[in-house]
């Protein structure tokens, strides 16, 4: 895969960004007072007339940003924000992405592969600056890790706006409504609210159809296995995964875990008798085959119904996050929990 596709279709970065880039890294590290992103002496876009339908002001995880026009050079960090952008038809705004978690959705693969890959994991601050973005969209909190020099303030000091997936804003519990709201917010920032509304309607219809197909069925007890051997790392009650399981006609056996993710003992797994195990699949956590082999080889789990009957449902981790895949996950889970309803 080429990592340097032609960028002739992308808007050229303004001169002020090319000049600023050279000094941005050292300035951010020294916390130099360069003024706010809205300082017109440093940011020419703030002095120009707003685009039609703008300005737009967004409060994102405590950071308030006013956009006078849609961002034109975007770097996404993590896969789910990249896929959301592509689903909104915004490929022409993307100058880089990083940290793919899994194979792209088939309908987005060609577009996803055409975006320059900046890094296998989170790119360095300097690498992001080299792409000359005016907007950085992060999927996990680690996209803006201040210990790695990528804080949102560092980007702001470099004149670059940022947005963090709302799943990491510290809300008590994440639901599908957060997915729909995230899509609408990105649509508003990029001036494509009509596309966002259509996408939300399509995803909501997909979820409603899957949920309706299983709504009268008994709830199937589900254990989420993310990773771990001495303890099981699983999805807790605050996670979107718990709602996806509920909508699909199941019940997360660790919904009482008051966190998005957490460790539980294997004794607890045995006690709660899950009938299905949902395996989260992502790079760096071992293959699905190895995870299944591990679960099937543990004598202590031999009498767990899901293990005894080898009932596993595999979900890409990206499908359990706030993004366009969560709607697909409800259908996939529903088929795995109640296959007889989809024949």
Give the list of residues 6+ apart from residue 84 with CB closer than 8 angstroms, or none: 182, 183, 186, 323, 324
Architecture of domain 15-170 in this structure: 3-Layer(aba) Sandwich (3.40)
Cα dihedral sign, 193-194-198-201: positive
CATH topology match: 15-170 vs 217-342: yes
Q: Give the tokens for residue 277.
A: 């195990």
Comparing CA positions, the residue from 84, 76, 72 lying closest to residue 9 is 72
Give the list of residues 6+ apart from residue 142 with CB closer than 8 angstroms, or none: 122
Q: Contact 186/71 with Cβ under 8 angstroms?
A: no
Report the number of secondary-structure helices (H) and strands (E) in the chain: 13, 13
Q: Tens place of pLDDT for every residue, the chain, 343 residues?
A: 333 333 333 444 444 444 444 444 444 444 433 433 444 334 444 445 778 889 999 999 999 999 999 999 999 999 999 999 999 999 999 999 999 988 899 999 999 999 999 999 999 999 999 999 999 999 999 999 999 999 999 999 999 999 999 988 876 788 999 999 999 999 999 999 999 999 999 999 999 999 999 999 999 999 999 999 999 999 999 899 999 999 999 999 999 998 888 999 999 999 999 999 999 998 777 889 999 999 999 999 999 999 999 999 999 999 999 999 999 999 999 999 999 999 8
Q: Which sequence spans correspond to the domains of the chain?
A: 15-170, 217-342
pLDDT, tens only, 9-32: 344 444 444 444 444 444 444 443
Buried b / exposed e across 303-321, counting CB within 10 Å, b at 16+? ebebbeeebbbebbbbbbb
Global pTM?
A: 0.82
Give the list of residues 6+ apart from residue 43 with CB closer than 8 angstroms, or none: 16, 37, 159
Q: Is 76 exposed, middle or buried (0-12, 13-18, 19+ CB in 10 A)?
A: buried
DSSP 120: S
C-alpha angle 165/170/175, rounded to 5°?
Answer: 65
Class of domain 217-342: alpha beta
Integer-rounded Cα Rg, in Å, for the chain is 22
pLDDT, tens only, 151-204: 999 999 999 999 999 988 876 788 999 999 999 999 999 999 999 999 999 999
């Amino acid at each position: 895969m080429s990592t340097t596709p032609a960028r002739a279709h992308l808007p050229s970065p303004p001169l002020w960004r090319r000049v600023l880039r050279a000094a941005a890294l050292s300035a951010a590290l020294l916390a130099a007072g360069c003024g706010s992103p809205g300082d017109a002496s440093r940011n020419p876009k703030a002095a120009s007339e707003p685009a039609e339908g703008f300005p737009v002001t967004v409060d994102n995880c405590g950071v308030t940003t006013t956009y006078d026009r849609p961002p034109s050079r975007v770097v996404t960090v993590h896969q789910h924000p990249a896929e959301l952008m592509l689903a909104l038809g915004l490929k022409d705004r993307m100058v880089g992405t990083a940290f793919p978690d899994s194979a792209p959705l088939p309908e987005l693969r060609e577009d996803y592969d055409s975006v320059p890959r900046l890094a296998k994991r989170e790119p360095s601050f300097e690498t992001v600056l080299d792409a000359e973005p005016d907007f950085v969209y992060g999927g996990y909190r680690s996209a803006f890790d201040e210990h790695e020099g990528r804080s949102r303030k560092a980007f702001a000091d470099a004149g670059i706006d940022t947005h963090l997936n709302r799943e990491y804003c510290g809300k008590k519990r994440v639901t599908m409504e957060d997915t729909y709201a995230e899509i609408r917010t990105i649509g508003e920032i990029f001036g494509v609210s009509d596309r966002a509304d259509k996408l939300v309607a399509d995803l909501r219809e997909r979820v409603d159809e899957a949920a309706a197909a299983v709504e009268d069925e008994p709830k199937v007890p589900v254990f989420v296995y993310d990773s771990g051997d001495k303890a099981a790392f699983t999805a807790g009650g605050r996670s979107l995964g718990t709602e996806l399981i509920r909508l699909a006609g199941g019940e997360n056996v660790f919904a009482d875990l008051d966190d998005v993710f957490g460790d539980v003992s294997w004794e607890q797994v045995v006690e709660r008798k899950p009938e299905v195990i949902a395996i989260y699949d992502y790079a760096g956590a071992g293959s699905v085959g190895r995870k299944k082999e591990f679960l099937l080889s543990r004598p202590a789990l031999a009498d767990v119904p899901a293990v005894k009957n080898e009932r596993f449902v595999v979900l890409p981790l990206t499908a359990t996050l706030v993004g366009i895949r969560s709607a697909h996950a409800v259908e996939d889970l529903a088929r795995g929990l109640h296959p007889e309803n989809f024949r």
